[in-house]
Structure 1
């Protein structure tokens, strides 16, 4: 009879085997909404897939979710490919996810928007973090494919606009799974040099998959950490990448990037010619102004009659000297008056006079204190004599000398009333010079 009972483990294994061999539960496609999403520290994803009427627990292991181009979130609608089986430890069936895509929007577009929001929240795209481009760069590093159309456009534009600039080409992979590492290494290599003034980074147009290396977070952070300004030129004018938002300047095309990087030599020559004309006009105007000034000086009274000019200055000097001597005499007299006034004040505050006045004050205080102490002592003596006389009147010994005594019973308590004693009690009568012990024979009430 015992053989008909199954263990829980055996039953669970049997049910799991039924699930695993059912071809309808393998390679199934499900549309649903994510909830209870958790990305475990070991890399596995645990979630619940639900619709309006039901839900199922699901798991996507790390070796499969590492290929996802987007980050799952609660509430996201997804398209899933996977299989259904039983998790023996809990006896619950669950969905094992092999692949997952956003429902209604491509995975790459979703990943792009998610990364854009993340880096925006960190402040990486803020204008205050952008570095200024050099006006006249001496050496430019170009990071692109050495065989694409982008490098030809950049070199042609640089040669036409600013042929004196040095250009270093750093070949990178611009698409494929290894491209992001190639871009990051190139940025770091350029930053290890001290002779590079500017970086141009980019490629020609393509699909979002082909442009994706420039949307990688690793590349964006390398651009942000660069100490050298970077111009990003990825794709065509309508294409925007995460690198465009992160770079110090964004160019619509590689050609536009080269135009941003350097000034036009023709414009510089024209500007120089304009400066030369301005300088020539300025020098002519300056010469004319100085010549007129010189002519005015030459025709001035000083040049025609220098000896009279000197005589006038001599006379003016005499006037100044006289005024100075008069003022000096007044100042001296004023200072003498001040010294006399101060000396008069100081005579009152001479230390010897101050000491004499203080000594007199001290002697006066000593006399007053002596009189005060004598008065207090006399009052205290009088008070003491009065209190002594009062004490003499209250002294029991004095009363005893007049024939009085004080009675105490056997308990050493004073007898003040006949009700406190009885016939036969022993009493002690204290008199002035001793104690009398007696026995009560009779008690009479007066």
Structure 2
């Protein structure tokens, strides 16, 4: 049987496939001491894991390295969650690291993750429950050790930024068994007395064991129930605790917590000046608007002034009076003309006018006009009317 000749590349790829298909080698937990540590500019971390007799090369790519909550150091004992494979280019076997945890702290990390997941499911970390940090607090409550660097840092930052803000310290234990109970007491003290606008809880950096009091479930629930906003400032920037997640705001350091809580005095005065300018502008606009409205009302009142209305009514009455007088005058003139015309007609037919011409009117004693001689024959007495009077007498017929 003739053997197949392989190139080096083919051999390395064949070995790599065997390693990649092995279930155990793809799901490893390896314990060892870090050596030859190198943080690359790309973000990847290169190192070796060794024990008393052996060593293996390791790589942790940037995406996994960003999830580390502690800084790797030479000689550090760790447990690596990884897979084993071959790097074909060099023909070297190495571990590809997914996660790292410090040796001896595995149980605490597991406990931390379990509690974090539980509280997250119950809504303790939801943004909708976060209270707003006041922009201009008058007094800040601090729950921390009275002798540690935390309170000094907070005091220094606060005095530098704003001398008008007061600090009220509740001395608490921040390390050691049961220390979290004093932190709980401090939060409850401020909530009961309502004597501060915001609370800062914190301590300096340390191991997960040093910071464990800030991972207690009872403390997390008290923080969540607090009516006063709480800023958590525990450890350094890379340190995370349950208190950080449940608090209304996390600060990477106590000094940053003070910077967040305490506004710059100059900025406050500047903001007040800006508000003053805006307020004056609003007042000026409002006054101008109201002046314009007042002038419009004045014009309206002037047009609807009772005195003016009455005066205008008098004028209207005079106008109507004149118009009525004119109508009456015209009517009278018309009637006069009609009367004169009728008078002329009457005058033309007035019997008196006939008498003026020498004629007379003859009437009987009953004042009936006698218009025929035959009517006289039957009368004993007649009345003769002249222009200047009348006479009566008996009539004697000649024939």
- Which one has more relative contact order, counting CA pairs under 8 Å at least 6 apart? 2
Q: State the TM-score, normalized to the length of structure 1.
A: 0.42
Q: State the TM-score, normalized to the length of structure 2.
A: 0.47
Which structure has the larger Rg over C-alpha atoms? 2
- Which protein has the bigger helix share? 1
